[in-house]
Amino acid sequence: MIERAPFGRTGHPSSRVIFGAAAFARIAQERADEVLPVLDAFGVNHLDTAADYGDAELRLAPWLTGRRDDFFVATKTGERTGPGARAALERSLERLGVEEVDLIQLHNRVEEDEWASAPGPGGAVEALVRARDEGLTRFIGVTGHGLRIAAMHRRSLERFDFDSVLLPYNHSLLTDDLYRSEVEALLATCEVRGVAVQTIKAVARRRWPAGYEGPRFSWYEPLPLGEELARAVRFVLGRPGPFLNSSSDLRLLRPILEAAAGLGGSAGPGIPDDAVLRRDTEALGIEPLFDRARLERI
């Protein structure tokens, strides 16, 4: 079983691996239903989806019929205006077949104009606070990609008391000294304020090489199965606090869960040695997904 920990100040004892339902964007219900027993076997009790993850919300809906209380359910909206965010949340509730979600997140709030407009008068934050007061959601979070997001999240927390943040976190990205320092500052802020920290791209290898013609189940090339992937999971979960959102490549779900379960809770192995992780980087040609310039966006 995977260790559970309080999801920030929400108090929910979430599995430290969160199921990333982006993996359900374009699959049949029958295939999605095969995943539920896997999650149950490892004790995963936290689901993360989004309005723009294709059919993901629809695929989760049958799971929640009769089992709503078994899962912490999070979704996201990319809308920045109040009316747009409210409409998106209501649509997500309908698609999920629930009366409330546990967490609604402002999706990929990175760009300066969107950062400024969402918390302003008539913006998305105002509408989601109203929705929270009405019982349509319990908590409000913010997510983002790229190497600017850690600093942006700290600015977002200055404007509004978000309950959770989500950002990229893996060894190759943290070799960028500035990003590492901004991540550390964000984690310190979140620890003091009880804000839950979710990580993405834990098992990313690099962007797809030019000319690659094989199957693609995520927008980046993931690590291959093996010890390198297990160490990448340990790099995130060996540190107390952060949660790991599983990959949109569904083939990696069980290996990620097995690696996480092998940690053995707080008594398990910690973060792998940096020299070992650097050898993995060299052997597999691991590259950062973002670079603050040409590769900043997905």
Q: pLDDT of 196-209, one tens digit each? A: 999 999 999 999 99
Query: For residue 72, what pLDDT band results from cuts at 50, 70 and 90?
Result: very high
pTM: 0.95
Write out the two tokens for 21. Answer: 């339902």
Which residue has better confidence, 67 or 292?
67
Q: Is the pLDDT of residue 283 over 80?
A: yes
Tell me the pLDDT band of 193, cut-offs 50, 70 and 90. very high
Please provide the CATH number assigned to the domain covering 4-284.
Answer: 3.20.20.100
Report the amino acid identity of residue 219. Answer: W
pLDDT band at residue 264, thresholds of 50, 70 and 90?
Answer: low
Res 214: pLDDT = 85
Each residue of 144-187: pLDDT tens digit?
999 999 999 999 999 999 999 999 999 999 999 999 999 999 99
Q: Where are the domains of the chain?
A: 4-284
Q: Which residues pair with 189 in a beta bridge?
A: none
Number of C-beta neighbours around residue 57 at 10 A: 26
**What is the chain's mean pLDDT, rounded?**
93
- Report the C-alpha gap between 51 and 85 in whole angstroms: 11
